[in-house]
Structure 1
Amino acid sequence: MVTPMPDDLRRTAEQARGFMPPAEGQALYEIACAYGSRGPICEVGTYCGKSAIYLGAGARRAGTVVFTVDHHRGSEEIQPGWPHHDPDLVDPKTGRMDSLPFFRDTIAAAGLEDEVIAIVGASATVARHWSTPLSVLFIDGGHSEEPVTADYEGWAPHVMPGGALVFHDIYPDPADGGQAPYRVYLRALESGDFREARVTGSLRVLERV
């Protein structure tokens, strides 16, 4: 049985900016606890650090760390004019999105700076130079076809045997949400390299066979 997430970390996560429902966040924590002792965790798509708190809390329990990769300039769906845009994240000096200061504040408030390590850069660039096997890979970056495909192709090969590949915002019904993550999730299943291990809301957990 997984030890419950500490109440202070859970409250901090629930209050942080972001789009992770509590039940799915709790699932992330449990996944990090279950798989993290095998190696480091990688999150693709940091935003302001909400999901990184759940992963970081689990990483602390498992004795590992979370590398969270993001250029912090915002994915397509949070740019001005899009439904998830937050004007507070626009840097007044440059006029560009910049979620990095908000991420740093979030992780500092959670007391997880030793467990959650930011890698600031484009996911595809970092993936090309990555070589460490991962116990958990959480893909939650750009949700249109090109970025989610690139995240899968660049990072999934680094998931170790028995490790977990986790997708967020998987909606089989187009009426519920965008289809690009769902198509890539199906591609992962059809590859034969992964089997489905858990479903929580829009979260899908695949285990490398």
Structure 2
Amino acid sequence: MTMPPDLRYAAEHAKGFMPSGEGLALFHAALKYGGQGPICEIGTYCGKSAIYLGAAARQTGSVVITVDHHRGSEEIQPGWAHHDPTLVDPRFGKMDSLPAFRTAIAAAGLEDEVIAVVGQSGRVAGLWNTPLALLFIDGGHSEEPVTADYEGWAPHVMEGGALVFHDIYPDPSGGGQAPYRVYLRALSSGAFKEVGGEGSLRVLERVGPGI
């Protein structure tokens, strides 16, 4: 199956940092695994990757739960390279990507497929008990948040389901190393094997216990 042109256009023009090739790889991973159950995304930002996932959810009859506090990860705060001043709420002086996300998902026509959960990933994970067909980890990229996302959410990936990481850079000159270290931890656990990837995106399949 291919991604519908209107949804691909919506994804490519939404705010975010995912290259088109990686987004399409995410879409195809969600197509492959989404029919087994719900899809969960950690790190929503403005909805770019949620559109890729939502397009697959529509075709597989699945649903996407996307979790984010919408106050921005470290790398998009003021003074950092990826900061977008248009996302600052002047009333509170804080980042707020939720309005941009809602606009992007509504414009794409995916409000039935994509469900936003607004809150800290770890707090939400502590309440979660539904097996996941696919988990996409793309939240905070420093050591503490990416480790917490893995520890809180990876145990919920069903056997035969997928764990997908973004921003995996084996060479430190390419980017931060925290997601790469957690990706290696997942592989060394014996619970996952790598089955695909594109650019900095890595797709792992759960093959057993051991997380």
2:156 corresponds to 1:174: no
Distance 1:47 1:58 in 2: 19
Q: What letter corresponds to residue 97 of structure 1 in structure 2?
A: M
CA offset at residue 124 of structure 1? 0.2
2:179 corresponds to 1:189: no
Q: What are the residue-to-residue correspondences of 1:9-158 with 2, within 5 Å?
A: 9-158=7-156
CA offset at residue 199 of structure 1? 1.4
CA contact (8 A) 2:170 2:180 kept: yes
CA contact (8 A) 2:65 2:115 kept: yes
Distance 2:71 2:63 in 1: 24
TM-score, normalising length: structure 2: 0.98
Distance 2:32 2:70 in 1: 29
Aligned to 1:165: 163
CA offset at residue 92 of structure 1? 1.0
Distance 1:191 1:48 in 2: 32
Deviations 1:130-154 (A, max 9, x none): 0000000000000000000000000
SS for the counterpart of 1:169 is coil
Distance 2:189 2:150 in 1: 12
SS for the counterpart of 2:21 is helix
Q: What letter corresponds to residue 92 of structure 1 in structure 2?
A: P
Listed as ranges, the gaps of 5+ residues in structure 1 are none
CA contact (8 A) 2:25 2:197 kept: no
Distance 1:196 1:36 in 2: 17
SS for the counterpart of 1:138 is strand
Distance 1:33 1:206 in 2: 14
SS for the counterpart of 2:196 is strand
Distance 2:197 2:104 in 1: 27
Distance 2:34 2:161 in 1: 9
SS for the counterpart of 2:171 is coil
- C-alpha RMSD of the superposition: 0.4
Runs of 4+ in 1 over 4 A off after TM superposition: none
TM-score, normalising length: structure 1: 0.99
CA offset at residue 6 of structure 1? 0.3
